[in-house]
């Protein structure tokens, strides 16, 4: 797969997530830092994908800037969104209404 065909955009060498530049269906093979990874979930346009393993509590870095922290371990190619990260800057609410701003 050439970089121009890759639906996952990674802008900075420090990024541990890439951004879907179009909706990517489950089962699609993508290139993440040169490694071919088959996605096991649909990734909506604009959502994030882990480009390397991310440990619970580790900062999520997108476009070279920290945007939050992982609330659990995240595998390469996994969808990264409010179900497994929390913002370090604004409250992040679960579907049940819980506030994860200060969750450990």
pLDDT digits (tens, 9 = 90+) for 62-100: 999 999 999 999 999 999 998 999 988 877 666 676 666
Strands (E), the chain: 8-9, 17-20, 29-32, 35-38, 48-50, 59-62, 65-70, 79-80, 85-86
Higher pLDDT, 3 or 98: 98
Q: Inform me whether the pLDDT recorded for 2 exceeds 90.
A: no
pLDDT digits (tens, 9 = 90+) for 23-59: 999 999 999 988 899 999 999 999 999 999 999 999 9
Residue 102's pLDDT is what? 53
Which domains occur in the chain, in start order? 8-86 (2.30.130.110)
């Amino acid at each position: 797969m050439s970089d121009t065909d890759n639906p996952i955009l990674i802008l900075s060498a420090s990024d541990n997530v890439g951004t879907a530049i179009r909706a990517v269906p489950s089962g699609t093979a993508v290139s993440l830092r040169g490694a071919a990874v088959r996605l096991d979930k649909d990734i909506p346009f604009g959502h994030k994908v882990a480009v390397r393993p991310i440990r619970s509590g580790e900062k999520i870095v997108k476009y070279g800037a920290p945007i939050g922290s992982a609330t659990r371990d995240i595998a390469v190619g996994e969808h990264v969104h409010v179900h497994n990260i929390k913002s370090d800057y604004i409250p992040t609410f679960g579907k049940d209404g819980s506030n994860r701003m200060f969750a450990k």
